[in-house]
């Protein structure tokens, strides 16, 4: 874990780790907006869980080895198996399981045995059929599960439990495919006693897709931080910046302005700070003052407005002036996913705001 | 109701900004009309080389998002310019899903058209979040360039407490320190010719 990590009080990672300490075979769904720090929380969870006696924790970015637009049941199980095989590389008997998983992942040539009694069936390339029965889906998961269970047997001579942190699936847009992964892969992993923490798409939180959250032992939401209303949130983000920046690099008002302009989105906080440093370099300034921060905010905001359609601008103006946001369409949801609209949750209370970097630009656009 | 455009920057200014981001993993975009993209890349490359001849840069011209992932895996250049003018929503969507495969230790700039960038902003929210505030529109010449040049020259004069004449004189005498800022200063004054073995 990076030296730059700052623990947020009551963080999602500490909550998940505490639950896993009590129930290492439990399953957890983590959802949050882009740039809210989900991966950081997942890595922090891995670090905390690794400290629990008898638990081995693995982090896996599922999207690194597979195009998540083409998710099929079994993809997650096989990746968990391959990651475990890599972790147990030095242990005898692992290689055969690893090879089998590699075959399942990449495909292989089955040995050809000629049938001399039936010359009507000449060997040739297998042309897959178009029907995929539910049984076949279950079979592909089972196929990947067998070598994984072998590896779990090896692991259990060292650690009683395995917990996997699955990252990257938050970028899935096909919610039916996501649900299939949850039904087949996550349940299969839970069935063989593997604890799971999975980062899921933001859209799983809304409308009919919300039922998927009920398939997990626990659901956790990594919110953007309401820097306008919560002083502890402002203090946390200020600490994050101070930990990463040389002392005196920013003036205090400069840091305060960046924290507010970030809208509580961690990634935006860091990119705004970085851009303000570039502005200071161009200005030849020794430290970042308000002028450099304002320039960085303006550049960020202008970028953030590109690609918007008229109807979306109307929605943004309504959120800006009235704070009301009812997401009924895919376009509305896209405004949340792209952080033009920020949603803050505080003890069940919801607040919506436009990203602070576009607030003034929208005001200018509306002429008021 | 038109949304405000992204700020303009000449290739010289973008090169300066890129140099300032050296040592970090940064993603940016440079927007231009399709017919100006080759010139923008050429100028960017030249300006970067003028600022620091030791810089390793590479230009890739993938036809698809998939090809960009392969191209990136094959280059170790610190600065990578991606001619992305052919990219459509499908390509941006793929890059969005496979964001992890775009990890690059250095500065990566997507050079593309305004309309292609609009599609990026609509189809690739994860990738867009990586771009932060590093998105500029290309300007070939004119006031924007002059303003950026004057701004940086002012900064250098303040930094060194010296005048332009002092720097040129020192370069001609061979007494100019070897700090990259002085080389940049000469380039901005149009006296890159003094960056020989003596003055560099």
- Which structure tokens are listed for B65? 């998002």
Same domain membership, residue A319 and residue A294:
no
Our CA-based measurement puts residue A124 at a distance from the nearest CA of chain B, in whole angstroms, of 30
Helical H runs in B23-173?
Answer: 37-51, 65-73, 89-97, 114-123, 125-131, 143-160, 164-173
DSSP state of A4: T
Does A271 contact B at CB distance below 8 Å? yes
Same domain membership, residue A163 and residue A285:
no
Same domain membership, residue A190 and residue A131:
yes
Q: How many domains does chain A have?
A: 3
Q: Distance (Å, rounded) from C-alpha A163 to C-alpha A58?
A: 6
Instruction: Check CB contact under 8 Å for B21 and A365.
Output: no
Select from B19, B152, B155 the least CA-distant residue to A286. Answer: B155
- Please count the residue pairs, one from chain A and one from chain B, whose beta carbons lie less than 8 angstroms apart: 123
Same domain membership, residue A359 and residue A248:
no
Burial of A206 (0-12, 13-18, 19+ CB in 10 A): middle
Indicate whether A195 belongs to any domain: yes
CATH code for residues B8-142: 3.40.50
Q: B74-101 burial by CB neighbour count: b if 16+ within 10 A, else e?
A: ebebbbbbbbbbbbeeebbbbbbbbbbb
Our CA-based measurement puts residue B113 at a distance from the nearest CA of chain A, in whole angstroms, of 12
Of A254, A272, A305, which residue sits at a domain end? A305
User: Of all helices (H) and strands (E), which one includes residue A191?
Assistant: helix A187-191
Instruction: Check CB contact under 8 Å for B97 and A171.
Output: yes
Of A191, A222, A253, which residue sits at a domain end? A222
Task: Give A-chain residues touching B120 at CB under 8 angstroms.
Answer: 307
Neighbours of A228 (CB within 10 A): 15
**Domain spans of chain B, in order of start:** 8-142, 146-190
Same domain membership, residue A199 and residue A55:
yes
Interface of A with B in 188-227 (CB under 8 A): none
Indicate whether A3 belongs to any domain: no
Indicate whether A57 belongs to any domain: yes
SS3 category, B83: strand
Digit-by-digit pLDDT tens for chain B (200 residues) are 678 899 999 999 999 999 999 888 999 999 999 999 999 999 999 989 888 888 899 999 999 999 999 999 999 999 999 999 999 999 999 999 888 888 888 999 999 999 999 999 999 998 999 998 899 999 986 655 666 777 778 778 877 888 889 999 999 888 988 887 888 888 888 888 887 654 33
Same domain membership, residue A360 and residue A287:
no
Task: Give A-chain residues touching B93 at CB under 8 angstroms.
Answer: 69
Task: Give A-chain residues touching B20 at CB under 8 angstroms.
Answer: 277-278, 281-282
Contact between A279 and A331 under an 8 Å Cβ cutoff? The reply is: no
- Residue ranges in chain A whose pLDDT is less than 70: 1-7, 9, 110-137, 368
Does B78 contact A at CB distance below 8 Å? no
The domain that contains A272 carries what CATH number? 1.10.8.60
Same domain membership, residue A147 and residue A271:
no
Indicate whether A147 belongs to any domain: yes
Our CA-based measurement puts residue A153 at a distance from the nearest CA of chain B, in whole angstroms, of 31
The domain in which residue A137 lies consists of: 12-222
Same domain membership, residue A144 and residue A51:
yes
pTM: 0.81
Same domain membership, residue A195 and residue A78:
yes
Instruction: Check CB contact under 8 Å for B6 and A361.
Output: no
Same domain membership, residue A106 and residue A168:
yes
Same domain membership, residue A319 and residue A297:
no
Of A165, A197, A222, which residue sits at a domain end? A222
């Amino acid at each position: 874990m990076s030296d730059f990590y700052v623990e947020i009080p009551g963080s999602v990672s500490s909550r998940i780790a505490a639950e896993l300490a009590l129930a290492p075979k439990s399953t957890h769904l983590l959802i949050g907006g882009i740039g809210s720090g989900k991966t950081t929380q997942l890595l922090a969870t891995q670090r905390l869980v690794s400290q629990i006696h008898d638990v081995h924790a693995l982090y896996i970015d599922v999207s690194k080895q597979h195009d998540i637009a083409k998710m099929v049941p079994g993809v997650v199980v096989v990746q968990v198996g391959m990651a475990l095989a890599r972790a147990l590389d030095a242990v005898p008997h692992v290689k055969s399981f690893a090879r089998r998983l590699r075959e399942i992942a990449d495909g292989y040539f089955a040995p050809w045995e000629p049938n001399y009694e039936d010359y009507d069936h000449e060997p040739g390339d297998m042309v897959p059929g178009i029907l995929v029965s539910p049984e076949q889906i279950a079979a592909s998961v089972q196929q990947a599960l067998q070598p994984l269970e072998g590896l779990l047997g090896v692991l259990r001579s060292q650690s009683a439990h395995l917990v996997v942190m699955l990252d990257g699936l938050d970028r899935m847009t096909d919610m039916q495919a996501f649900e299939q992964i949850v039904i087949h892969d996550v349940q299969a992993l839970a069935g063989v006693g593997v604890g799971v923490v999975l980062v899921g798409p933001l859209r799983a939180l809304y409308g009919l897709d919300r039922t998927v959250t009920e398939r997990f032992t626990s659901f956790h939401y990594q919110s953007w931080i309401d820097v306008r209303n919560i002083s502890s949130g402002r203090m946390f983000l200020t600490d994050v910046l101070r930990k990463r920046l040389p002392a005196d690099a920013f003036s205090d008002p400069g840091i305060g302005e960046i924290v507010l302009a970030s809208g509580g989105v961690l990634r935006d906080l860091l990119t705004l700070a970085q851009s303000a440093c570039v502005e200071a370099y161009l200005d030849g300034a020794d430290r970042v003052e308000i002028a450099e921060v304002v320039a960085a905010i303006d550049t960020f905001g202008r970028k953030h407005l590109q690609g918007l359609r008229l109807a979306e601008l109307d929605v943004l103006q309504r959120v800006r002036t009235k704070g009301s946001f009812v997401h009924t369409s895919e376009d509305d949801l896209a405004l949340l996913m792209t952080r033009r609209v920020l949603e803050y949750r505080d003890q069940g209370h919801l607040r919506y705001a436009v990203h602070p970097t576009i607030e003034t630009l929208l005001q200018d656009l509306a002429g008021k | 109701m038109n949304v405000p455009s992204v700020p303009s920057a000449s290739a010289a200014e973008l090169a300066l900004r890129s140099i300032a981001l050296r040592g970090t993993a940064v993603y940016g975009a440079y927007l231009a009309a399709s017919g100006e993209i080759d010139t923008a890349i050429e100028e960017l490359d030249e300006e970067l080389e003028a600022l620091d001849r030791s810089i390793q840069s590479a230009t890739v011209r993938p036809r698809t998002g998939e090809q960009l992932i392969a191209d990136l895996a094959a280059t170790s250049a610190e600065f990578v310019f991606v001619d992305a003018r052919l990219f459509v929503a499908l390509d941006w969507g793929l890059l969005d899903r496979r964001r992890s495969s775009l990890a690059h230790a250095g500065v990566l700039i997507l050079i593309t058209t305004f309309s292609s960038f609009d599609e990026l902003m609509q189809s690739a929210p994860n990738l867009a979040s990586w771009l932060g505030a590093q998105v500029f529109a290309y300007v070939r010449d004119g006031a924007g360039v002059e303003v950026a040049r004057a701004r940086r020259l002012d900064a250098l004069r303040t930094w060194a407490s010296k005048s332009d004449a002092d720097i040129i004189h020192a370069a001609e005498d061979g007494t100019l320190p070897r700090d990259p800022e002085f080389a940049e200063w000469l380039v901005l004054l149009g006296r890159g010719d003094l960056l020989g073995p003596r003055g560099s």
